[in-house]
Structure 1
């Protein structure tokens, strides 16, 4: 399977009670328009996943990541606008320096209570609700999941933990 490689980072407040989310509200033609999401994006050629995460967090939020934990990976076959396959490396950013931006070219940035994100109180991809409890678990385990998409909707979810 050929896939677009990407990172998705969840920047946590020092007490781990809040997470910095982007509300994709800058471009109405954005596939993520109106949704809250973690920060990240596609890897660039020659870039490893940690370097890609650090670059994306710096570009999108103005923060430098100093504490990073791998939460897991998710394969999203058929996810893209034209049915592309995506493979994401998901991280918790537990330590960082800098003052976060309030917005970027993709949308506005907001500190959101983790419990509200887990309770589904904000617009997000419905499918994120399957893996976010693993990302924000009190005693996290690295997970590897697969979530096939058809016509813009997740059709199943399966994962294993290490």
Structure 2
């Protein structure tokens, strides 16, 4: 039986930098060794906005004041028998600072502020490089990104 996972991701920006998470701490982490945005899986009853707001605070200590919704991406068979659906956000309006302790002690990895022009140079999913380019269009999108054994096979997108 196939499982559907609902997830969120957010790219937090400040002073020409984006906060990225280098995943290197969780066992059996499909994202191990990769840089990703801040986010995670839904808890029961949450809306996408509630989920990403909670994840931002849990992982970074920041409080998002205003989120910008960009779109929904489906990842069929992303992980053994699991289809993942990811709601994509960005945030430039938030409260707080990411403490040095939190930068190094996030349960899933190390938090790093990366200059915006260097983000695409990081070790990340190939699909992430593609959809990060869509963020600057200002359009909402629905997309499908397909991987096979961790390798990008194809993708499609509709902009609205």
TM-score strictly above 0.5: yes
More helix by share: 2
> Is the CA contact (8 Å cut-off) linking 2:8 and 2:86 kept in structure 1?
yes
Uncovered stretches (5+) of structure 2, i.e. residues with no partner = none
Report the Cα distance in structure 2 between the residues aligned to 1:52 and 1:45, rounded to whole angstroms: 10
Shift of 1:28: 5.7
Of 89-98 and 144-153, deviating more is 144-153
Question: Normalised by the size of structure 2, how large is the TM-score?
Answer: 0.90
Structure 1 vs Structure 2 CA RMSD: 1.5
Superposition pairs of residues 1-162 of structure 1, within 5 angstroms = 3-13=4-14, 15=15, 17-27=16-26, 29-80=28-79, 82-100=80-98, 101-103=102-104, 104-118=106-120, 121-135=121-135, 137=136, 139-162=137-160
Uncovered stretches (5+) of structure 1, i.e. residues with no partner = none
> Is the CA contact (8 Å cut-off) linking 1:7 and 1:41 kept in structure 2?
yes
Report the Cα distance in structure 1 between the residues aligned to 2:112 and 2:90, rounded to whole angstroms: 16
| Matched residue count | 155
